[in-house]
Amino acid sequence: MSPRRKSDDQAPSAVERAFAAVSAAIITGETAPGALITEGEVADELGISRTPVREAFLQLQTCRLLTLFPKRGAIVATVADKEVADLLAVRIMLESSAIRALDGNPLPDDVAHDLDDLVAQQVVAEHDGDLLAFSRADFAFHSRVIRAGDNDVIEDLFTHLGPRLELLTHRAVRRDATSPARLLADHRVLATLARAGDAQAYEAALRAHVQRGNYG
C-alpha cells in the first residue's frame, strides 16, 4: 500500500521519497511500461541508501506498479485493458458505497470545503500544464469523498488503488487536451451532488464521469 502522506510540517522519509520519485516516473510515463529499474539507480539518483529504495519497491509491487525480480531489479508493470476495466468498476463500487453511507445527509462543511479546494488545485494544475499534480488532485478529490463515508476498509482499499488510478488519469489527460476541462466540469457537478447528499444522482454522475474519462 502507498505510504500515508504526512502533514506539511513533517519531512518525508527516505522510503516516501523513493516511493514518490519512482511512482511519479511511472505515472507520467517517464519510465515506460516494461522498463527495468534497479535499487542502485534510484538510490544514486536520490542520494540515499538502497534499504529505503528496497522498501519502496516492495510497496510499489503491492500497488502493482512494479514486478520485482531478485538480483535483477524491477520491471514497470503494464496495465492491460481488462485491468483498466476492473479498476474502474471497483472504483465506482467503492465510491458509490461511500456516498450511500451518508444516508441522504449533506456533506459536512469541512468536506465540502476540501472538495472545493481540490477542484481549485486542479484548475491551477491545468493552467500550469502540471498533469501529475492534476492527476494527484483528481485522486485526492475522490479519496475525500471516500473518507466522508467513514469506512476504514473502503478507505484502505481505495488508497491501495491510488497510484494506478493516478496513472490512468495522467494517461487520459496526456493524450487528450480536452480531458482536463471535462474532468473538472464533472468534479464540480459531483461536488454539488455530494454536498446535497443526493446519492442516486451522484452515482449516475460518477458512472458518466468514468465513462467520459477515456481511461482505456
Give pLDDT, residue 10: 58
Domains along the chain? 14-76 (1.10.10.10), 81-213 (1.20.120.530)
Q: How far is CA 161 from CA 15, 102, 138, 139, 167, in A?
A: 19, 22, 13, 10, 10
Q: Indicate if the alpha-carbon torsion angle 182, 183, 184, 190 is positive or negative.
A: positive
Contact 15, 28 (CB under 8 A): no
Q: What is the pLDDT, as a whole number, of residue 4?
A: 46
Residue 213 pLDDT: 78
Task: Give me the average pLDDT of each 10-residue run along the chain (216 residues).
Answer: 48 91 97 96 96 96 95 93 95 95 90 97 97 98 96 96 96 94 96 93 96 77
pTM for the model stands at: 0.90
pLDDT at position 215, please? 76
Say what the pLDDT of residue 3 is.
Answer: 52
Helix, coil or strand: residue 48 = coil
Buried b (16+ CB within 10 A) or exposed e, 25-62: bbbbeebeeeeebebeebbeebebeeebbbbbbebbee
Residues in the chain: 216
